[in-house]
């Protein structure tokens, strides 16, 4: 489907007539019929019942029509945002951000956003990912959420980053020798603890060999400090090596697939009537997806 297909469905719904729709869109009736047939083949459904006095949508056609209306609305919102100069967009955006994300990415991202949108005030609250869920959007306490780890949500979401988990050592250590060295294990809330990922990998690559010694610490920073001083090894997402470039990272893989951790943005498109909120969400998408903003 493209924007022309979307227009055909919407005008057919409004006008209930192929002839009137063809006049409205300056297209011939055979051209409209051809596009309808192509959509029916693409989705494997019958879109409309055609009668001498007009057309009616089938149940499947109504579902496709609803999707077309959503596409048209999204397209209009994007066009509107592009038509408004950045320095004319103003307002406040409340953003709740995971602590780890804020540590490594937030400051340069906000600096660039503020230079492009000088009249938008971004109010940031940094908290652990375990405290960031959709209820903040439901309760109206937040406009945008950026959190680590994917979660179910009734709202829209976008994956900003995917990074692998890996074994971190102060120098290269063959996998088969890890069991003889201390594992540095950092404390995390149960719902965030990636220990299941680790043991699945350990079972596959080390045959469940018992680790001779485990050192428990209270933070990721402490674990990295221990590793930096040659006191053992740990497992962490790759993001944490940004400030420890001297350490060695070995990705966890299973059947040539990486164990990845996602960073996602949660938002409610209903808030996009606010230019400041919509502009911030679009900017974040461009910033991390490598797409150039027209602004």
- Residue 38 confidence (pLDDT): 92
Q: Do the strands 156-169 and 248-251 form a parallel or antiparallel pair, or are they unpaired? A: antiparallel
Contact 268/251 with Cβ under 8 angstroms? no
- Residue 82 confidence (pLDDT): 66
- Residue 190 confidence (pLDDT): 64
- Here the tokens at position 178 are 């890890």
How many residues comprise the chain? 295
* Residues whose CB is less than 8 angstroms from the CB of residue 62 and which lie 6 or more positions away in sequence, other chains included: none
The better pLDDT of the pair 289, 280 is held by 280
Return the DSSP state at 187: -
Coil, strand, or helix at residue 43?
A: helix
For the CA atoms of the chain, what is the radius of gyration?
Answer: 26
- Residue 254 confidence (pLDDT): 78
CA distance 155 to 145: 11
CA distance 198 to 116: 42
- Beta partners for residue 199, in sequence order: none
* Residues whose CB is less than 8 angstroms from the CB of residue 109 and which lie 6 or more positions away in sequence, other chains included: 284, 287
CA distance 49 to 42: 18
CA distance 279 to 89: 8
Contact 281/142 with Cβ under 8 angstroms? no
Q: Which of 35-39, 56-60, 256-260 has the lowest mean pLDDT?
A: 256-260
pLDDT band at 81 (very low <50, low <70, confident <90, very high): low
Residue 272 sits at φ, ψ, to 5 deg, of -75, -5
CA distance 30 to 15: 17
pLDDT at 28 over 70: yes
- Is the pTM value of this prediction over 0.85? no
CA distance 104 to 241: 10
pLDDT digits (tens, 9 = 90+) for 200-259: 888 888 877 889 899 999 888 999 999 999 999 999 999 888 888 889 999 888 776 778
* Residues whose CB is less than 8 angstroms from the CB of residue 180 and which lie 6 or more positions away in sequence, other chains included: 212
Cα distances (angstroms) measured from residue 151 to each of 132, 155, 159, 160, 264: 10, 11, 11, 14, 9
CA distance 123 to 125: 7
Label residues 26-42 b or e (16+ Cβ within 10 Å = b): ebeeeebeebbeebbee
User: Mutual orientation of helices 3-15 and 18-25 as an angle, nearest 10°?
Assistant: 130
pLDDT mean across residues, the chain: 87
Mean pLDDT of 13-28: 88
């Amino acid at each position: 489907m493209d924007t022309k297909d979307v227009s055909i469905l919407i005008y057919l719904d409004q006008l209930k007539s192929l002839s009137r729709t063809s006049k409205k869109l300056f297209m011939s009736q055979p051209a409209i019929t051809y596009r309808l047939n192509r959509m029916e083949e693409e989705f494997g459904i019958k879109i409309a019942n055609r009668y001498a006095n007009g057309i009616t949508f089938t149940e499947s056609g109504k579902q496709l029509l609803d999707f077309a209306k959503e596409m048209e609305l999204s397209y209009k919102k994007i066009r509107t945002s592009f038509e408004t100069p950045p320095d004319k967009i103003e307002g406040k955006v409340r953003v709740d951000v995971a602590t780890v994300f804020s540590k490594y990415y937030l400051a340069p991202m906000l600096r660039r956003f503020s230079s492009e949108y000088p009249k938008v005030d971004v109010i940031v609250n940094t908290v652990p990912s375990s405290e960031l869920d959709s209820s903040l959007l439901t309760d109206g306490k937040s406009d945008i959420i950026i959190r680590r780890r994917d979660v179910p949500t009734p709202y829209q979401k976008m994956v900003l980053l995917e990074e692998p988990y890996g074994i971190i050592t102060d120098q290269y250590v063959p996998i088969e020798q890890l069991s003889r060295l201390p594992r540095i294990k950092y404390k995390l809330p149960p719902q965030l603890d990636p220990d299941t990922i680790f043991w699945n990998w350990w079972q596959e690559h080390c045959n469940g060999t018992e680790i001779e010694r485990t050192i428990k610490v209270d933070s990721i920073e402490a674990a990295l400090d221990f590793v930096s001083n040659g006191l053992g090894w740990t497992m962490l997402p790759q993001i944490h090596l940004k400030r420890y470039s001297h350490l060695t990272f070995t990705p966890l893989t299973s059947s040539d697939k990486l164990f990845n951790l996602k960073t996602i943005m949660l938002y409610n498109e209903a808030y996009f009537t606010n230019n400041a909120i919509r502009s911030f969400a679009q900017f974040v998408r461009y910033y991390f997806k490598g797409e150039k903003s027209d602004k």
